[in-house]
Amino acid sequence: MTRTPSWSEDVIGGDVQCRGCGCVGETVDDVEHEDGCKEGHRLGTINRRDPPEGDWAAKHDWTRYRGPDSWPVPGGWVFKDPEGGGWWEYFGDVGEGHEFDDSILEALKDNPTINDPFETFGDLRRDHGEYAFLRLETANPDEVSRRNPEDEKLEWTLEVAGMEVFSRIEPDRSDLMAAVAEALQAYHAGELEERIEEIVPETGEKPKAVREQEQLEERKENNESLDDFATDGGVDQSSDGLDGGDRR
């Protein structure tokens, strides 16, 4: 992983010190950050801003892209573009430590053992080629008009390699990015399918269709429970009827 000096490190006496954890090294790459240091997971030097507020940035690599927002890039995932909500591309183990696909290509160019870096890059893309999309849309289009645009609610849906992981309305952005980071890392570790039910933002409302389906299933379960109770009760009443003469 190659990092270049950024505002987050101070040069003291010829050495470099991380402002996050205070660790020192001769160069940025020599600094061994403490566990939980967000600066140790910063990739690239885009924008001179503090790390994200969320704890997820202390666990997963992250970067910025043409603005103040931070984006997780764990495992072999690289960030592509924030358009439409955000999307990522997967490059397997080769993608680890890279924030964008062009940084992977530059690393291939710098590798003297690779004759054709462009061909190798194309092979990597063909071998993997999975994408993750964080889609953004209006959750309540029927309730919003030009006269009341402030009533619009935004729904975020994460899809990783064709699997929908979660959908939430108006989650806190830090919670949203934490869930995205967990999902991307789980895919890299081969654990997404078994963990998909547990990866959701801690904040935000479930979409209307999901809530209605859950209510329908809950009513169905309640009705089945009542039917079971009535059936069991009928047996008990029948038994009581047989023994009723002893209690008169």
5 pLDDT tier (thresholds 50, 70, 90): very low
Helices (H) and strands (E) in the chain, counts: 5, 10
Q: Shortest CA distance to 155 belongs to which of 208, 198, 79, 192?
A: 208
Structure-block tokens of residue 143:
């309730």
User: Is-contact 8 22, C-beta < 8 A?
Assistant: no
Q: What is residue 229's predicted lDDT score, i.e. its pLDDT?
A: 61
SS3 44: coil
Q: pTM for this one?
A: 0.74
Is 242's pLDDT higher than 50? Answer: no
Is 77's pLDDT higher than 90? Answer: yes
Looking at residue 205, what DSSP letter applies? B
17 pLDDT tier (thresholds 50, 70, 90): low
SS3 221: helix
Element at 17 (helix H, strand E): strand 15-18
User: Is-contact 52 62, C-beta < 8 A?
Assistant: yes
Domain positions in the chain = 1-41, 52-206, 210-241
Q: Shortest CA distance to 33 belongs to which of 45, 44, 21?
A: 21
Is 8's pLDDT higher than 80? Answer: no
Sheet harboring 77-81: ordered strands across? Answer: 77-81, 87-90, 131-138, 154-160, 163-169
Element at 216 (helix H, strand E): helix 208-243
Is 18's pLDDT higher than 70? Answer: no
221 pLDDT tier (thresholds 50, 70, 90): confident
Strand partners, 9: 18
For 81-115, the pLDDT digits (tens) are 998 899 999 999 999 999 999 999 999 999 999 99
Q: What is residue 41's predicted lDDT score, i.e. its pLDDT?
A: 73
Give the type of residue at 118.
F
Percent of the chain with pLDDT over 70: 70
Q: What is residue 247's predicted lDDT score, i.e. its pLDDT?
A: 36
Distance CA 60, CA 192 (A): 16
Distance CA 35, CA 47 (A): 24
Distance CA 37, CA 16 (A): 15
Distance CA 99, CA 217 (A): 43
For 27-70, the pLDDT digits (tens) are 556 555 556 567 767 787 644 567 788 889 889 999 988 778 89
For 187-198, the pLDDT digits (tens) are 999 999 999 999
Q: What is the DSSP string of 85-134?
A: G-EEEE-GGGGTT-SSHHHHHHHHHT-TT-S-HHHHHHHHHHH---EEEE
For 141-180, the pLDDT digits (tens) are 777 666 666 778 899 999 999 999 999 999 999 999 999 9
